[in-house]
Amino acid sequence: MVMTILIDGYNLLHASGVFGGPPGADSLQRSRQALLDRLVDALGAKRAAQTVVVFDATAAPPGLPRTLGYRGLTVRFASQHADADALIEELIDQTPDSRRLTVVSSDHRLHRAARGRGAKAIDSEVWFAELMRAHQQAGRPAAPSAKPTGPLSEAEVEAWLAEFDDPPSEKKQAKEKEPPSLEIFPPGYGEDLLDEEE
């Protein structure tokens, strides 16, 4: 396999905002899988086969090997390294023609390591936005959107008018009395990212 894209997994997960459903015991695993699915769909089979995604191993699914294939992607867990950055640096050093390599991370330590070997380094948020834009321009199906794709039906218009009715409906008043949720990220999510920021 010729590796042309090397991705800092949790860094990209955080930058992309891809999450695998509501918080729960397996929310991190579902978020990882949602990110990998999005990558495979956007990259296409050929580029996915040349892509390696590296995750810290502190929250790796139990029983998984250090390296596995997922829909053509290569996924690595840094179980024998201090963190994902250390494994990514090792992979950069092991790449025979690093000038063809793109390292995706917002970590400046990895930017320095990539540029030191002649590889391209790009921030996760910038790379992901470019990937999604190219994916949509290529005519591939876009990721599901919460926005309406056409004109609303009369029933939908009435439902929205009822939702924003003045005076507020009983349903809306009850909703306003609920305290706001403080769970922005899945439980344990920040723990996986602490090492990456150092």
Q: Print the domain residue range for 52.
A: 5-143+186-197
Asked if the structure places residue 151 within a domain, the reply is no
> pLDDT tens-digit profile of 116-147?
999 999 999 999 999 999 988 877 554 444 44
- 167 torsion bin: left (phi>0), alpha (psi -120 to 50), beta (else): beta
Predicted local distance difference test score (pLDDT) of residue 181 = 44
User: For the whole prediction, is pTM greater than 0.75?
Assistant: no
Residues 6+ apart with CB under 8 A from 4: 47, 50, 51, 100, 101, 102
> Which residue type occupies 122?
I
Q: What is the dihedral of CA 103, 95, 87, 26, to 10 degrees?
A: 60
Structural domains of the chain, count: 1
User: How would residue 74 be classed by pLDDT, with cut points 50, 70 and 90?
Assistant: very high
Residue 19 within any structural domain of the chain: yes
Measured distance CA(48)–CA(24) in Å, rounded: 29
Name every residue whose Cβ is closer than 8 Å to that of residue 128 and which is 6 or more positions away in sequence: 12, 15, 16, 104
Q: pLDDT digit string (tens) for 2-25?
A: 899 999 999 999 999 887 666 665
Answer yes or no: is 161 within a domain. no
DSSP string of 23-42, one letter each residue: SSTTHHHHHHHHHHHHHHHH
Task: Return d(Cα 7, Cα 14) in angstroms, integer.
Answer: 12
- Asked if residue 163 is part of any domain, the answer here is no
Token pair in block for residue 20: 């695998």
Q: Length of the chain in residues, anyone?
A: 198
Residue 162, in any domain of the structure: no
